Structure 1
Amino acid sequence: MLLDDHSNVTLLKEIAELLNEETDMDRMLEGAVWKLLNGSNFETAWIFFIDGQGKHRLVAEANLPPALKDNGCRHLQKGGCWCVKRFRDGELEKASNIIACQRIENSIVSNSGDSGGITHHATVPLQSGTEKFGLLNIAASERIGFSKDELALLESVAFQIGSAIKRIGLTRQEQELALVKERNRLARDLHDSVNQLLFSVTLTARGGIEMSEDPEIQDTFRDIQHLTQEALNEMRALIWQLRPKGLESGLLEAIKGYAEMLGLSMELKVTGVIQLPSRTEETLFRISQEALNNIRKHAGVNNVQLYMSITSSDVLLVIKDEGRGFLIDERLYIPSIGIQSMRDRASAEGGTVDWSSKIGKGTEILVRIPY
């Protein structure tokens, strides 16, 4: 049995306070499941997020036995199970006892550690209104089922967590919208002020060349015109980075448009259907920008190949040129190449960036991002 009703009310109050105060999704989920375990007879818990394609990922866990904790929680991370299937099929509406769990059974059969006496679990969907996010699963040693009161408590906690997930999601959307607005404002300011000033300088330099008959003065104006044009190109590239025109028309169109703005000719090859989350598209676009900037500045060629392969779980982007290339030394930081910037962007989305390059043989950037 669980604690008395007064204890349940106290537990729900403590969880509600934590959820209302927390703004980080990971800390919020982990804190909520630990408070649930500490205030009840549930002994272990884990949370799955399940996306629109039915793919699940483990986002929080507490007090898992060694058998389930083994090798990065591999039994929870991979494969299918009854509760996830019911969630995908829209058949899981409330807290339920799971008669048999394939994940737990696999962890026991594999002899990957002590199972802690856990053989069954209960599950409840995490949702806010009609929007569903995933599952909260709980278990306890030697328990094959939980009472109605225990399941009712589980539903109350799940309702609180679902509302908090929705709140944090809306907050993130507002922050991203505010960031886009600020980028647009900066882009407009740069275009209306600095960009126009640089353009005026190029016209002035051109006029100086035509007005003077002194070869040295003409050369000086030509240098000014050349440098100003380079600065103007850099400014236009910066404006593109702040406000990627064309991304609303698709990722490939945006990348192609940016390459054309830099004066690069791009060969495209795509396999799979492009239907990526907006954050993934943004990340791939920013990485492509950095790679294309590097090609224009360092490769000494105007041709670039872009290959993109989309599967059900991740996207592979390859950007290749046949230019000068560079020596790779993992012990050295190469700020002019911008490799670290690409790596940081991919890492923020759980992805990776690898590259290969040889002097005189060109460079190949390989980006892989899950979604």
Structure 2
Amino acid sequence: MPRDINVKNSNLRVLKEIAELLNEGTEISPLLSDVLKKLLEVTGVTTGWIFLIGPDGRQTLASAEHLPVALSKNNCDPLKRGGCWCIEGFRNGSLTKASNIIECRRLEKAAKINKEETEGIAFHATIPLTSGDEVFGLLNVAAPEKKEFSRDELALLESIALQIGSAIKRVRLTKKAQEIALIEERNRLARDLHDSVNQLLFSLTLTARGGGEMTEDIDTKHTFQQIQELAQEALTEMRALIWQLRPSGLEKGLIQAIKGYGEMLGLHVDTKLSGLLALPSLIEEALWRISQEALNNCKRHSGQADVFVSIKATKSNVKLTISDSGCGFIYEKDKTLPSFGIESMRERVEALNGQFELISELGIGTTIIVALPY
């Protein structure tokens, strides 16, 4: 059989195996890790790493396999820090196809420190991960003593990168659809609670008040008052739950929703908005949930009714600051967070690749700062 047919059949097999693997993935991080392992297995390339690059140009090392010591030390710090030609080319739009990188700053720097730790890797190929007009990041591959990849090898890597890009887009679109479905389900549940349980509790409050006014017996009057107070408390809790499921002010904007929720809790919320808010639904939802938890904490623990909320938005990130001048508490940054609610806020932020900061001082107050990219 002619050599070129053997090569074509081999390439088709590689593409088929990777396509099958990508088709099964539902989460981006494990999907990229699995496909990189498969790529190294079926192509004979020994080392690979994938950068995801956001709209703001920030890079994230999403996956890495069989890195030399020079690149894997300190939790892959040599890969995560600093810039290189491929990242710059991605950002300025000049890197549009698979390319051989003859001079890699990261590898050159590592070789100067200890050449043996590069394990013979001095060059790599870089391939953009794309789907249509969208770009998601870079696939980099290398092998010891390999100076360059042939045109056929680059073409195969480019085809694999297109598959990976399409898989990333599919997963993100699926996540988006799930978010929309979740919001719609919350809205439906909120409507049901408002139309049924909320109305029943309101009727119970009126009935108990009427019963107390109709009787002259002191014990009976006291019982009706207790029923009214409990019903009113349950009604307040129910309204707060409905707010959490579907904030009635969110359609007017995040700031108005936060302010309305604070007022419902009996807080006076002073707000400041900088920049134009046009946030993805996932980011808006996260900021809303974090704000709710922070305002709940202010109500329960600060001892003050005044709260300041600031939202500052740019083209690529949004910063939320919530502070009070209440009693505060002693908190050390290297210690465990003081409550489950604050811990859940931090986890929500980190799940979106954001930054969470808690500042509190006894007798001065507490501030929560959240920064999220989008």
Q: TM-score, normalised on structure 1?
A: 0.87
Please point out which of 346, 356, 364 is paired with 2:360: 356
Tell me whether 201-210 or 343-352 shows the greater mean CA deviation.
343-352
Q: Is the 8 A contact 1:26 1:59 kept in 2?
A: yes
Q: Identify if the C-alpha distance between structure 1 residues 247 and 73 changes in structure 2 by more than 3 Å, giving closer, same or farther.
A: farther
Tell me whether 218-227 or 311-320 shows the greater mean CA deviation.
311-320
User: What's the offset of the Cα at 1:265?
Assistant: 0.2
What is residue 211 of structure 2 aligned with on the other side? 208
**Aligned pair 1:319/2:322, yes or no?**
yes
What is residue 131 of structure 1 aligned with on the other side? 134
Q: Identify if the C-alpha distance between structure 1 residues 231 and 31 changes in structure 2 by more than 3 Å, giving closer, same or farther.
A: same
**Aligned pair 1:122/2:125, yes or no?**
yes
Q: Deviations over 1:37-71 (max 9, x none)?
A: 11223221111112222222211111111111122
Q: Which amino acid aligns with 2:237?
A: E
User: What's the offset of the Cα at 1:236?
Assistant: 1.1
| Partners of 1:173 and 1:308 in 2: CA distance | 24
What is residue 158 of structure 1 aligned with on the other side? 161
Tell me whether 74-83 or 41-50 shows the greater mean CA deviation.
74-83
| Partners of 1:211 and 1:112 in 2: CA distance | 92
Please point out which of 88, 101, 104 is paired with 2:104: 101
Q: Which amino acid aligns with 2:80?
A: Q
What is residue 252 of structure 1 aligned with on the other side? 255
| Partners of 2:239 and 2:115 in 1: CA distance | 57
1:193-342 matched pairs, under 5 angstroms: 193-269=196-272, 276-308=279-311, 316-323=319-326, 325=328, 334=339, 338-342=341-345
Q: Identify if the C-alpha distance between structure 1 residues 132 and 363 changes in structure 2 by more than 3 Å, giving closer, same or farther.
A: closer
Q: Is the 8 A contact 1:322 1:363 kept in 2?
A: yes
| Partners of 2:291 and 2:62 in 1: CA distance | 29
Show structure 1 runs of 5+ residues with no match: none
User: What's the offset of the Cα at 1:295?
Assistant: 2.5
Q: Is the 8 A contact 2:357 2:369 kept in 1?
A: yes
User: What's the offset of the Cα at 1:272?
Assistant: 6.6
Q: Is the 8 A contact 1:325 1:357 kept in 2?
A: yes
Report the aligned-residue RMSD.
3.0
User: What's the offset of the Cα at 1:163?
Assistant: 1.6
Q: Identify if the C-alpha distance between structure 1 residues 304 and 128 changes in structure 2 by more than 3 Å, giving closer, same or farther.
A: same
SS of alignment partner, residue 117 of structure 2: coil
Q: Identify if the C-alpha distance between structure 1 residues 83 and 5 changes in structure 2 by more than 3 Å, giving closer, same or farther.
A: same
Please point out which of 8, 13, 18 is paired with 1:15: 18
Q: Is the 8 A contact 2:311 2:320 kept in 1?
A: yes
| Partners of 1:129 and 1:253 in 2: CA distance | 38
Q: Identify if the C-alpha distance between structure 1 residues 261 and 112 changes in structure 2 by more than 3 Å, giving closer, same or farther.
A: farther
Q: Is the 8 A contact 1:95 1:155 kept in 2?
A: yes
Q: Identify if the C-alpha distance between structure 1 residues 63 and 302 changes in structure 2 by more than 3 Å, giving closer, same or farther.
A: same
Q: Deviations over 1:9-39 (max 9, x none)?
A: 2222211111112222112111111111112
Q: Identify if the C-alpha distance between structure 1 residues 327 and 50 changes in structure 2 by more than 3 Å, giving closer, same or farther.
A: closer
Q: Which amino acid aligns with 1:356?
A: S
Q: Which amino acid aligns with 1:104?
A: L
SS of alignment partner, residue 39 of structure 1: helix
Q: TM-score, normalised on structure 2?
A: 0.86
| Partners of 2:337 and 2:279 in 1: CA distance | 34
| Partners of 2:137 and 2:291 in 1: CA distance | 33
| Partners of 2:93 and 2:343 in 1: CA distance | 43
Tell me whether 25-34 or 91-100 shows the greater mean CA deviation.
91-100
What is residue 145 of structure 2 aligned with on the other side? 142
| Partners of 2:180 and 2:276 in 1: CA distance | 27
Show structure 2 runs of 5+ residues with no match: none
User: What's the offset of the Cα at 1:109?
Assistant: 3.5
Please point out which of 31, 44, 48 is paired with 1:28: 31
| Partners of 1:158 and 1:256 in 2: CA distance | 46
User: What's the offset of the Cα at 1:140?
Assistant: 1.8
| Partners of 1:157 and 1:345 in 2: CA distance | 32
Give the count of matched residue pairs. Answer: 368
Q: Which amino acid aligns with 1:67?
A: A
User: What's the offset of the Cα at 1:254?
Assistant: 2.2
